[in-house]
Amino acid sequence: MSGTIFTFTTPLVMPTTNQLTLSDRRDHFLARLGLNRSGHRVEPGLHSLGSPTPDSPVFVTANYTLSFDALRSSLDEWMNCYILVLDTKGVNVWCAAGKGTFGTGELVNRIKITGLADKVNHRMLILPQLGATGVSAHEVKKLTGFRVEYGPVRAADLPEYLETHKATPEMRRVQFNLIERLVLFPVELVKLLPYLLVIPLILYFVSGPLAGAGAAATMLAGIVLFPILLPFIPTKDFSSKGLILGGLVALPFALAAYQYEIDTTPCMQITRAIAPMMVMPPVTAFLSLNFTGSTTFTSVTGVRQEISTYTRIMAWMFASGVATLIILTILRITGW
């Protein structure tokens, strides 16, 4: 053992500021579009804002850049504090809490890795309210000695909250206004853009312009219209909301199909009208399920139950509609 040198290092504290750079805003823009989805990450660990002392507050957040930047940019320039960043695999606080990565185990582990207990005199952590589903406060206290305090829903309310450490009812209320809903659809739009371009084009050449336009309208309804109209569709489940929206979008196409070649039998006209009403709504409803993870008024168990209930209905409707369209196409080609 002679000649062996042992070195001990103190866990690194990474400095940050409350100023967002052009690079940060570019990162936010790409994240909103869903581009490089797994790359919008902050280094997990202990970050410092200003010149924190052992009495400075400690905030906890996810290592998703939008979550981290929302927290630090909301704090005043003179604020001296620590920001403990958990390794949530680049997922925001609320979603990570549901997945378990913004959870008790990771929080306890990160407190120990960073040596936080040696850096601060107090034993209090301020967590975002939307992370409460993933963290057991009494377990954290038992395992680390740190008490968990849940701050407001929005990081922007932190300066006011810190004056009294009491949240007003408004601070606890989750808002999901039009602006917040509008930022959701670009991610889905970019993700489904190849399908949005290819499928309507194929249907245009196979079944005609009405089919191509119907496919495009159906997909756009599920991607763009659904988050905008979400609060106004009078049902609880996302699937039923999607079916209603898809049915409304399908109505003009059903009317156009009914009036197409009016010299045919009434039975054939009605069958042509039924086909889009069977095919289009389940596609819109299926796409609407993508937004169950983008709102704070869904639960994991509720979504699972909804999927179990409605996917069979969607599959039956879609398959029946497609079969009807195939039969109508064959009849049209053969001249029946």
**Residues 131 and 60 sit within 8 Å (Cβ to Cβ):** yes
Is residue 15 predicted with pLDDT exceeding 90?
yes
How far is residue 209's CA from residue 218's CA, in Å, rounded to a whole number? Answer: 14
Alpha helices, DSSP H, located in 145-208? 158-164, 169-172, 178-182, 185-207
- Over residues 117-174, the pLDDT tens digits come to 999 999 999 999 988 889 999 999 999 999 999 999 889 889 889 888 888 888 887 7
Is residue 263 predicted with pLDDT exceeding 60?
no
Q: Which residue has the higher pLDDT, 298 or 234?
A: 234
Give the model's confidence band at 4: pLDDT under 50 very low, under 70 low, under 90 confident, else very high.
Answer: very low
Give the model's confidence band at 5: pLDDT under 50 very low, under 70 low, under 90 confident, else very high.
Answer: very low
Is residue 8 predicted with pLDDT exceeding 60?
no
Tell how far CA 223 is from the center of its chain: 13
Residue 46: what pLDDT?
Answer: 96
Please tell me whether the overall predicted TM-score, pTM, comes out greater than 0.85 for this model. no
Q: Compute CA distances 36 → 87, 146, 237, whole Å.
A: 18, 35, 31
Residue 127: what pLDDT?
Answer: 96
Residue 262: what pLDDT?
Answer: 61
Average pLDDT of the residues in 24-50: 88
Is CATH 3.30.700.30 the right assignment for the domain spanning 13-175? no
Instruction: Give the residue range(s) of CATH 3.40.50.11600 domains in the chain.
Output: 13-175
**177-182 LR contacts (CB < 8 Å, sep 24+):** 178/228, 181/227, 181/228, 181/230, 182/227, 182/228
Residue 2: what pLDDT?
Answer: 41
- Over residues 161-208, the pLDDT tens digits come to 988 888 888 888 777 777 777 777 788 888 888 999 999 998 888 778
